[in-house]
Amino acid sequence: MKIMEEIKERFKEKGINPSYHRLKIYENLVSRSDHPTVEMIYNDLNQSIPTLSKTTVYNTLKVFSSSGLALPISIDETEIRYDAKMSFHGHLHCVKCHNIVDVDIDPQVEELLMKTSEHSVEECHVYLKGVCKKCLQ
């Protein structure tokens, strides 16, 4: 399994202990682009890993976030979503289907936003709200 080897390598770089649960949770997160919640990941893995608890998923995502393996997205105030795509991109919150979809944004926009502020900016997130292309069809 090549993907697992890659994930283990990424964990090693970030200094994360590659437990079975962590590997499975990360594998699930990188395989999808719907920015899942703790609940969504749990529901997906629960069948194949009965020993997994929702708390483990929650704690594991916290570890991923603090070590730079995943990005927590709080675009929807009721729940936190997670993203394993760490390169700069924006998120559109669709008011119709409530999905959060990736929006490609020129990396220069990030640079511009970071340096126009007189403060020391450490992170830059672009949140957009509207109707996604699927719903527009």
Contacts with Zn ion, residue ranges (CB under 5 A) = 83, 85, 94, 96-97, 102, 132, 135
**Residue 32: CB atoms within 10 Å:** 14
Q: Are strands 90-94 and 81-83 parallel, antiparallel or unpaired?
A: unpaired
CB of 23 to Zn ion, least distance (A): 21
Which CB, 3 or 97, lies closer to Zn ion? Answer: 97
CB of 115 to Zn ion, least distance (A): 23
Contact 6, 27 (CB under 8 A): no
Which CB, 70 or 132, lies closer to Zn ion? Answer: 132
Let me know the angle formed at the C-alpha of 42 by 67 and 103, rounded to the nearest 5 degrees.
60
Contact 76, 63 (CB under 8 A): no
CB of 17 to Zn ion, least distance (A): 26
Which CB, 21 or 89, lies closer to Zn ion? Answer: 89
